A and B are shown apart, each in its own frame.
Chain A
């Protein structure tokens, strides 16, 4: 129980990050660009509205029965081209139903689509999926699922965004939620001391990430300020703490104090703590 997700990085981007030595720097994505356009079911029979996938909530969802070719697509279209370098998927059943997923874009208004990042993605479970790629500007985007089992596709969150790469990696002190960290346990013992049963309630996970050595210019830059404002106001984000090494990626919201960078002293470097409650139902 519990899954840490999968991060798929386009090979060109991966090489660029490795060359810069930043492949293990944390990144986050918070811009819900999909909500600014039109989202609709492309192929398949819609069971629950596509717009739910961009609502931000994990409780409402796009649900679709694949067509006779086992195909279901979720299409995004925009009046003008949008520059995107990340697509995140959470609160889904793609692993459970054995789906093969592709993320794609179109430069000809949806007539043909171009695959992004490492081609087919076959998630092993229903943990969050993050796909990183060099920025592309297009008016049409698509999440495509082939489901051999023919079972309904359910996606609660589909986030089209740009990525905010953090300038420093996290070296120690981070507790990755390998399984859910918020699990309430109830145990029943009889008066005679016999163990009768146990029950539990999982409430996702809690993450606390200490971000250190943030240059002042970075913290005062537009990207960080936009993120800080959105995060403090409760906008959900995708978060990956060591993306080059682990597939840990989670979708969550602020789950503690406000994100407030503090001057750490030397070289005007700043530090901040990212407290998050993350969706973690696998």
Chain B
């Protein structure tokens, strides 16, 4: 439906809510001088926390408008929902954001109101009669306000699930598309009753102040250790050894060692590993467990960081989508030792410099992975035109001068894992590429880009070359960024990271005709939820004709069907610059 859509936007907030009834077994709470009133079935104020049985209570808020479903409690307290959406930064060249791009941030404004509390307090009617307290009954509507009470009863709101549903009148709430977030801030109500709640996507859990890898260890040396040679000591405090593996890597100061452990007794059998320098250590020095991956696929490493260290649910990682993108990074295997706790977000940002990115898809509530790649053979790039799709007056073009690249220097093969991963002196290898973009008859000006990658162990020229070539290919010319809006129905099948073909007068050929350009969607904002979607797309720039190597028998090029030629690649004599049908040679990727 694209006409007469009656827009409805509903905020859902999930709260922990006890499924039990006050004083009914197994809940042992009872009214007394020390507990003069019944709880509100929330953890704060629970009078029998051992028997708190966690369920979920979802509170819904909408604007004061018609079209809301009758029979479902929806508080008309929503004033506004403003969104700063996800923006991916493929290649990590946009210096305004980290290599991982910009996370979603939603600010919700609500207006406090007086409420009879029936929807929130399971004992609201007993408050009136007096049965819920030792004192006389009272009318909750005459005491306090909805959000004032909610905040007092539920101070533990951080990290709880929140959804912004965007649908149409007549739809079941459950059928309305939901944007999934977590609550990260709550302010108010203030003197005017305004409440501001901030929501962010789940990758917020990977931020520096919230998640580190490895976790901080708690064990210390019980004695001094001399520089070099095997060493044995006891971990203190007592039994802390149980938090360490039987064998592994650890750092003491700036030295990385390998050890075995039994109980609290530790034996160091290898010193100064991973390029670190042997040193003497003192009693009470921290014995920090290192995190290490060896020859691990990049997807596996990212998954481990997100799930094990940032607490992102494994169910939020779509296996099939990650596997499909991983096909473009075959051989991207990583080896690294991380000696001290580092922000998980910082580590993911480093990984993103390998021409891959991750973002949270709020509609699917999944963390998606995307490789910097061309269209796969047979993959369609939906067409968007300003004739039929782009909303009038919304199209803007921006030329991203600062994202053009002519020289790429990729440093890898870290020398000392305990030293700075951003210091060029700490790398033994460099892989580079210089394209023609800076030539005298082209831009006549170079733009350099450096990548420091501590994830390739002692060095990996194959991976480094692939990263450099892809960056060089995609960013040789000045990327173009288009921002525009589409009708919500037209945008429904599009998502961040999708490749599209855009035909607009904002990008013309040399005779002035609109030039179809392959672009990648980097940003989507539900500008007017249910009505229009604002998005940005960046030119993709992968010039060339890409197909798969065929594993089995295939017809000659001249006998091949169009489908065969689109899927499989054919080799051509080096002296020729086109096949007999005039099409150009295939490219390696």
B32 in the interface (beta carbon within 8 A): no
Nearest CB in chain A to that of B71: its residue: A154
Which residues from A are CB-within-8-Å of B387? 190-192, 194
Q: Which residues of chain A in 14-36 are interfacial with respect to chain B, using CB atoms and an 8 Å cutoff? A: none
The segment from B14-22, B116-124, B451-459 that touches chain A is: B116-124
Q: For B66, give its contact among A49, A186, A189, A281 (CB under 8 Å).
A: A281
Nearest CB in chain A to that of B530: its residue: A199
Docked complex Cα distance between A180 and B64 (Å): 14
**How near does chain B come to A75, taking the closest CB pair, in angstroms?**
15
Which residues from A are CB-within-8-Å of B588? none
Docked complex Cα distance between A193 and B390 (Å): 10
Please judge, given known A-B contacts A197-B5, A199-B530, whether A191 and B66 are in contact too, CB under 8 Å: no
Nearest CB in chain A to that of B8: its residue: A201
B179 in the interface (beta carbon within 8 A): no
Q: For B488, give its contact among A57, A154, A197 (CB under 8 Å).
A: A197
Please judge, given known A-B contacts A93-B70, A154-B70, A186-B531, whether A199 and B6 are in contact too, CB under 8 Å: yes
Which residues from B are CB-within-8-Å of A189? 391-392
Q: Determine whether the beta carbon of A197 is less than 8 Å from that of B531.
A: yes
Q: Determine whether the beta carbon of B391 is less than 8 Å from that of A196.
A: yes
Q: Determine whether the beta carbon of A191 is less than 8 Å from that of B71.
A: no
A198 in the interface (beta carbon within 8 A): yes
CB within 8 Å: A-B pair count: 123
Q: Determine whether the beta carbon of B2 is less than 8 Å from that of A196.
A: yes
Q: For B75, give its contact among A49, A59, A202 (CB under 8 Å).
A: A59
**How near does chain A come to B490, taking the closest CB pair, in angstroms?**
7
**How near does chain A come to B67, taking the closest CB pair, in angstroms?**
6
Q: Which residues of chain B in 117-141 are interfacial with respect to chain A, using CB atoms and an 8 Å cutoff? A: 118-119, 124-125, 128, 141
A60 in the interface (beta carbon within 8 A): yes
B432 in the interface (beta carbon within 8 A): no
Q: Which residues of chain A in 113-142 are interfacial with respect to chain B, using CB atoms and an 8 Å cutoff? A: 126
Nearest CB in chain B to that of A54: its residue: B116
Q: Which residues of chain B in 521-578 are interfacial with respect to chain A, using CB atoms and an 8 Å cutoff? A: 528, 530-532
Docked complex Cα distance between A281 and B65 (Å): 9
Question: How many residues belonging to A are interface residues under a CB distance threshold of 8 Å?
Answer: 38
A188 in the interface (beta carbon within 8 A): yes
Docked complex Cα distance between A214 and B165 (Å): 49
Q: For A186, give its contact among B76, B392, B528 (CB under 8 Å).
A: B528
Question: How many residues belonging to B are interface residues under a CB distance threshold of 8 Å?
Answer: 46
Among B74, B124, B392, the most chain A Cβ lie within 10 Å of the Cβ of B392
Which residues from B are CB-within-8-Å of A168? none
**How near does chain B come to A147, taking the closest CB pair, in angstroms?**
13
**How near does chain A come to B532, taking the closest CB pair, in angstroms?**
6
Q: For B116, give its contact among A51, A63, A188, A192 (CB under 8 Å).
A: A51
Q: Determine whether the beta carbon of B71 is less than 8 Å from that of A201.
A: no
Chain A 263-282: CB-based contact to B (< 8 A → 1; otherwise 0): 00000000000000000110
Q: Determine whether the beta carbon of A203 is less than 8 Å from that of B64.
A: yes
Q: For A191, give its contact among B70, B118, B395 (CB under 8 Å).
A: B395
Q: Determine whether the beta carbon of A204 is less than 8 Å from that of B66.
A: yes
B73 in the interface (beta carbon within 8 A): yes
Q: Determine whether the beta carbon of B6 is less than 8 Å from that of A201.
A: yes
Which residues from A are CB-within-8-Å of B116? 51-52, 55, 57, 60
Chain A 45-65: CB-based contact to B (< 8 A → 1; otherwise 0): 001110110010101110100
**How near does chain B come to A96, taking the closest CB pair, in angstroms?**
8
Q: Determine whether the beta carbon of A188 is less than 8 Å from that of B118.
A: no
Chain B 357-385: CB-based contact to A (< 8 A → 1; otherwise 0): 00000000000000000000000000001
Which residues from B are CB-within-8-Å of A91? 70
Docked complex Cα distance between A280 and B65 (Å): 9
Nearest CB in chain B to that of A48: its residue: B73
**How near does chain A come to B541, taking the closest CB pair, in angstroms?**
24
Docked complex Cα distance between A57 and B71 (Å): 13
Which residues from A are CB-within-8-Å of B3? 197-198
Docked complex Cα distance between A192 and B74 (Å): 40
**How near does chain B come to A181, taking the closest CB pair, in angstroms?**
12
B172 in the interface (beta carbon within 8 A): no
Nearest CB in chain B to that of A96: its residue: B70
Nearest CB in chain B to that of A55: its residue: B116
Residues of chain B having any CB pair with chain A under 8 Å: 2-7, 63-68, 70-71, 73-76, 115-116, 118-119, 124-125, 128, 141, 385-393, 395, 487-490, 504-505, 528, 530-532
